[in-house]
Amino acid sequence: MFMGEYQHNMDDKGRIIIPSRFREKLGDSFVVTRGLDGCLFVYPYDEWERIETKLKALPFTKKDARAFTRFFFSGASECELDKQGRSMIPTTLRQYAELKKECMIIGVSSRVEIWDKHKWDEYYAESEEVFPEIAENMADLDF
């Protein structure tokens, strides 16, 4: 399970340090793709395969299923760790998530998310204000 949040700077070449606690669970190579809310999703291969299986099962005759599958898979890229624990994030993904120098790497159960620090701070502040309401709505999901 991935949890916690860490701040790291992206270098001029688009490399970012992956926190050591996440490295062992991600392995030497993993998948990075466009996420929701303007961040990147990072998956170890076993979790990526589970998601791939679920998305393959969606009916291709449904427009939303096709659109989501295209969005999710077309942005996917295999990434690796170098000896310093850094990973090169492809330019298209850096542009999508508007990653600048300061980034947040957060653990979200079965995945890691990479956020531009300023976007994360805004998202966190907005979510913090409505967290009690969100928590109440979770009861509808049998949480």
pLDDT per residue over 34-67, tens digit each? 999 999 999 999 999 999 999 999 998 999 999 9
Q: Are 32 and 141 in contact (CB under 8 A)?
A: no
Which CATH superfamily, name and number, covers 2-141? Answer: Transcriptional regulator MraZ domain (3.40.1550.20)
pLDDT of residue 138: 78
pLDDT of residue 143: 63
pTM for the full predicted model = 0.92
Which sequence spans correspond to the domains of the chain?
A: 2-141
> DSSP of 41-90, one letter per residue?
EEE-HHHHHHHHHHHHTS-TTSHHHHHHHHHHHHT-EEEEB-TTSEEEPP
DSSP state letter for 14: S
Give the pLDDT band (50/70/90) at residue 139.
confident
